[in-house]
Amino acid sequence: MSKLSSSLSSRLSGQTLAADLSYIAQPASDFAEQSSSSPSYPRTLYPPIEPNKSGHLEVGDGHNVYWEESGQGAGAPAALFLHGGPGGGCSPRSRRFFDPTHYRIVCLDQRGCGRSTPNAADDWSASIYENNTSKLVSDLEKIRVFLGIARWSIVVGGSWGSTLALAYAETHPAAMSDILLRGVFLFSPDEVDYLFQNGGTSGQNPEAWEQYTRFIEDTSDNIAAERTNFLGAYFKRLKGTDEMRKAAASAFVGYELSISKAFVDLDVIKDTLQEPGRLIPFALFEVVYMLNNGFMRRGQILDECHHIVNAGHRVSIVHGRADYVCQPKAAHQLYKALRKAGHTQVALEFVAGAGHSDTEPGLT
């Protein structure tokens, strides 16, 4: 299958490698001078802070989940941040969405990614074991109980983080009060196919889609068959040699990052592609979850939203009008489903000109 040879060690998460831009579409011209200069934000994030506490919680199945606390201590309103991906991991920036003088801020790296162990860059088979939505939801409850938090004051999630926040709220409605979602993804088959199979993104990003598919074409022994299942083709390569895994992950993640912002900064993409500990989990888990419908039954999020209504959660949804990763219609469908179920404490706002990333002006 591979036209690439293996030359890297099997342990990658601690390394920094040259960014592989072979299959990354060039950003559109920046005549508006937005990506080449600091964007203007209507609101700024809170100042950088360091964690007060951090550690690893053994959650079972061989997984140890990294967690950290910042801001206020026990007794303060607790805020939970859920990163995207799956496999994206949290960063120091994740803490800055919350007022540290008010909230007890909790961030974590979900199974198999970031500082959680095992990391997919080091041991993909162990990291993928029992890595699914219900297990991640269970991990969130274990973290809450371990930290002695009676109830999350607010749960914040974007992209895959929005999916996980909704699954958590529907499974453990008493565990939280408010929910803030950005870039909603419901895991409907049409959302998955639009993004990774049928070329739906090519309407606005034809070069990015071309590069995403060209990687498979260039490394395939049977492209006629693999065109019917690009996700399966990427998964096959993500199980391959270290060099093939990095090449496949670079093409896959680079594709998504290249359509995530209204004004794309190639340096931001390079930074991600240089860190196997971020790159490999991001690609592997996104592919695995997409292939398995998010490990949920079809329509589950919308079918179960009455649990959110019955619990009285306040739900706020913000979505970029120019989001080409998670389509705005998913946010609208969620809003309409909650309203139809009788929810009065739900708000939806589309932000003109904003893409998918949480760095987009108007989404922060």
Burial class (CB in 10 A: 0-12, 13-18, 19+), 101: exposed
Phi and psi torsions of 272, nearest 5°: -70, -40
C-beta of residue 1 within 8 angstroms of C-beta of residue 240: yes
- Alpha carbon 186 to chain centroid distance? 13
176-182 vs 314-320, strand pairing mode: parallel
**Which amino acid does the sequence have at 218?**
D
Candidate list 323, 343, 357, 358, residue with the active-site label: 323
Dihedral sign computed on CA atoms, order 305, 296, 191, 106: positive
- HEC assignment per residue over 186-212: CCCHHHHHHHHCCCHHHHCCHHHHHHH
Place of tokens 């895959």: 160
Candidate list 159, 250, 258, 357, residue with the active-site label: 159
Catalytic residue status for 356? yes
Phi and psi torsions of 203, nearest 5°: -60, -40
- Alpha carbon 306 to chain centroid distance? 25
Catalytic residue status for 323? yes
> Cα separation of 41 and 101, whole Å?
22
Burial class (CB in 10 A: 0-12, 13-18, 19+), 160: buried
Catalytic residue status for 220? no
Catalytically active residues are 159, 323, 356
